[in-house]
Amino acid sequence: MIEAVGLTKRYGDKTAVYNLSFQVRPGAVTGFLGPNGSGKSTTMRMILGLDNPTAGSVTIGGYPYRRLPNAPRHVGALLDAKAVHGGRTARNHLLSLAQLSGIPARRVDEVLGVVGLQDVARRRSKGFSLGMGQRLGIAAALLGDPQVLLFDEPVNGLDPEGILWVRNLMKALAAEGRTVFVSSHLMSEMALTADHLIVIGRGQLLADMSVQDFIEANSAGFARVRTPDSEPQQREKLTSALTEAGGHVLPEQDGGLRVTGLALPRISAIAHEADVRLWELSPHQASLEEAYMRMTQAAVDYRSTVDQKSGLMQPLPPGAAPPVPVPGQGQPGWYAPPPPQPGPTPPGGPYAGYGAPAAPAPGYGAPAAPAPGYGAPVAPGAGPVPPAGNPYAQPAPQQPAPQAPAPAVPPAAPVEAPAAAGAQPVASPAAAPAAASAPHDAPTQPEDDR
């Protein structure tokens, strides 16, 4: 199980992740969603010990990643499929990772077969397509047969057959009782793959609930009703009857009616009493994509000028937007541990009951008081950040915002973690030592690899 408590990460005056708390439980595929720049990659890097949190902590099975004995045997990850020495063959790349972790060589051939690369195992990886590179990265994550798996955009570059294969693989791994944490921007795929969702925006938690609960909490259900197109008076008659019964009726462009406030059996009874024939009476439930767009519309950093035409990204009126809500809070299944509080470590350590050591690993940072707002601490003399209102709400185009005194300095929008100067991207925790030890020119290959 992965547990984050009060996780915060700042890069100078930029806050990538702020006071983030969640759990990723075994036996289910947990989707990790959020707009670009919301802090997903930074969070995954902190889980894997590649970045140190500014405040808070994150553990795997009760221990920080760096304290796990032979971590690749416990945790597998795919963060960057391109982090492979191009001069190595696929088999030699996996073999080097296996030797570093004490994994038998026969396991290399097993995972090559699992990902379907057995026929190109002796080809140099620099000639691989994007989809083949993704499969090789997944093979590296599976190499140690770990109980915890993290995948960042695992279906990127895969064809439909490959996407279906990844979907089935994720579900099979979760069915075996493993912890599967998947970050993706493909909403349609997440709807088919994930059982649970963790959604963040601007580095903060927006939702932590099941896929079905997330859709229900962020969409308005309605009934779609259609009368004979050749009899417009029937539609007008039904509209009046439904309105008198307390329903709210909106016409649609194709001639149908969108009805809210009335259940389907009640709509059918009203139509029967009004002697109106119905061609269609069906419920409508929003897709995961629609629900996600409604949830994150205030946390998008990069927005086209034509987004307002979509109907899902309408600007909110000035002063009318409350702070970003967290749907599901207080409902069954909700989890949000409190942020760490300064003070002495309680008996048994901060992770008592989870099997962790009494003291957190060095370098993970002491708990700190959370900074105001979404961004870094306010500069001296800038004044406090107003506690109310949504700093990201945009005024409607036809109604300019009224003049008001200049607000306090808004918090900086969080960004994805920048790579350290000169550092190479890492595909998985196990790949880091291999990448560091590999020369930059292609090594001498055996006869069967040339």
124 and 206 both lie in a single domain: yes
Helices H / strands E in the chain, number of each: 11, 13
231 and 162 both lie in a single domain: no
Domain-located, residue 374: no
Three-state SS at 295: helix
Pairing of strands 2-11, 55-60: antiparallel
238 and 93 both lie in a single domain: no
Domain-located, residue 256: yes
Task: Assess contact for 201 and 16: CB atoms under 8 A.
Answer: no
d(CA 385, CA 392) in angstroms, rounded, equals 13
Angle between helices 106-115 and 90-101 (to 10 degrees): 130
130 and 156 both lie in a single domain: yes
For the segment 157-206, what is each residue's pLDDT rounded down to a tens digit?
888 999 999 999 999 999 999 999 999 888 888 999 999 999 999 899 99
For residue 442, the model assigns a pLDDT of 43
Domain-located, residue 64: yes
Question: Among 5-14, 223-232, 301-310, whose mean pLDDT is lowest?
Answer: 301-310
196 and 251 both lie in a single domain: no
For residue 289, the model assigns a pLDDT of 82
For residue 127, the model assigns a pLDDT of 87
pLDDT band, very low/low/confident/very high, at 392 (cuts 50, 70, 90): very low
pTM tops 0.75: no
Give whole-number Cα distances, 111 to 91, 180, 353, 433, in Å. 10, 17, 35, 20
Q: Among 244, 274, 294, identify where a domain stops.
A: 294
For residue 78, the model assigns a pLDDT of 93
Strongest mean pLDDT among 24-33, 69-78, 128-137, 432-441: 24-33
* Phi-psi label, residue 19: left if phi above 0, alpha if psi -120 to 50, beta otherwise: left
Q: Among 267, 294, 321, identify where a domain stops.
A: 294
Look at residue 443 and tell me whether its pLDDT is greater than 80.
Answer: no
**Average of per-residue pLDDT across 95-108:** 92
**Average of per-residue pLDDT across 25-54:** 94
For residue 150, the model assigns a pLDDT of 96
Question: Among 24-38, 320-334, 349-363, 433-447, whose mean pLDDT is lowest?
Answer: 349-363
> Where residue 8 sits, what CATH number does that domain have?
3.40.50.300
Torsion of CA 32, 38, 44, 47, to 10 degrees: -110
DSSP 215-278: HHHT---EEEEE--TT-HHHHHHHHHHHHHTT-EEEE-TTS-EEEESS-HHHHHHHHHHTT---
d(CA 379, CA 64) in angstroms, rounded, equals 32
**Average of per-residue pLDDT across 285-298:** 79
Domain count across the chain:
2
Largest Cα span, the chain:
84
246 vs 401 pLDDT, higher one: 246
43 and 177 both lie in a single domain: yes
**Average of per-residue pLDDT across 368-386:** 43
Domain of residue 95 covers: 2-216
Look at residue 4 and tell me whether its pLDDT is greater than 80.
Answer: yes
For the segment 329-371, what is each residue's pLDDT rounded down to a tens digit?
444 444 444 444 444 434 443 333 333 333 333 443 444 444 4
Domain-located, residue 407: no
198 and 232 both lie in a single domain: no
Look at residue 237 and tell me whether its pLDDT is greater than 80.
Answer: yes
Q: Under 8 Å CB-to-CB from 144, ≥6 apart: which residues? A: 70, 72, 73, 74, 76, 101, 103, 430
* Phi-psi label, residue 311: left if phi above 0, alpha if psi -120 to 50, beta otherwise: left
117 and 266 both lie in a single domain: no
153 and 257 both lie in a single domain: no
pLDDT band, very low/low/confident/very high, at 240 (cuts 50, 70, 90): very high
**Average of per-residue pLDDT across 314-325:** 39
For residue 292, the model assigns a pLDDT of 82
For the segment 411-424, what is each residue's pLDDT rounded down to a tens digit?
544 444 444 444 44
Average pLDDT over all residues of the chain: 75
Q: Whose CA is closest to 2, among 143, 170, 148? A: 148
Domain-located, residue 372: no
For residue 103, the model assigns a pLDDT of 92
For residue 307, the model assigns a pLDDT of 55
* Phi-psi label, residue 246: left if phi above 0, alpha if psi -120 to 50, beta otherwise: left
For residue 217, the model assigns a pLDDT of 80
Look at residue 315 and tell me whether its pLDDT is greater than 50.
Answer: no
Q: What percent of the chain has pLDDT over 70?
A: 66
In 54-65, which positions are buried (b, 16+ CB within 10 angstroms) versus exposed (e)?
A: bbbbbbbbbbbb
Q: Whose CA is closest to 286, among 219, 238, 201? A: 219
Give whole-number Cα distances, 181 to 31, 214, 222, 428, in Å. 6, 17, 33, 14
For the segment 124-154, what is each residue's pLDDT rounded down to a tens digit?
988 898 889 999 999 999 999 999 999 999 9
Q: Among 275, 294, 313, identify where a domain stops.
A: 294
Give whole-number Cα distances, 145 to 103, 139, 325, 426, in Å. 10, 10, 39, 19
E-strand stretches of 106-157: 148-152
Domain-located, residue 82: yes
> Where residue 264 sits, what CATH number does that domain have?
3.30.70.100
120 and 145 both lie in a single domain: yes
Task: Assess contact for 6 and 21: CB atoms under 8 A.
Answer: yes
Q: Under 8 Å CB-to-CB from 398, ≥6 apart: which residues? A: none
**Average of per-residue pLDDT across 69-89:** 89
90 and 212 both lie in a single domain: yes
For residue 397, the model assigns a pLDDT of 45
Domain-located, residue 200: yes
Q: What percent of the chain has pLDDT over 90?
A: 44
Domain-located, residue 151: yes
83 and 210 both lie in a single domain: yes
Look at residue 395 and tell me whether its pLDDT is greater than 50.
Answer: no
Angle between helices 160-175 and 130-142 (to 10 degrees): 10
Handedness of CA 110, 115, 119, 122 (dihedral sign): negative
Give whole-number Cα distances, 58 to 61, 64, 67, 345, 393, in Å. 10, 6, 12, 16, 32
For residue 353, the model assigns a pLDDT of 34
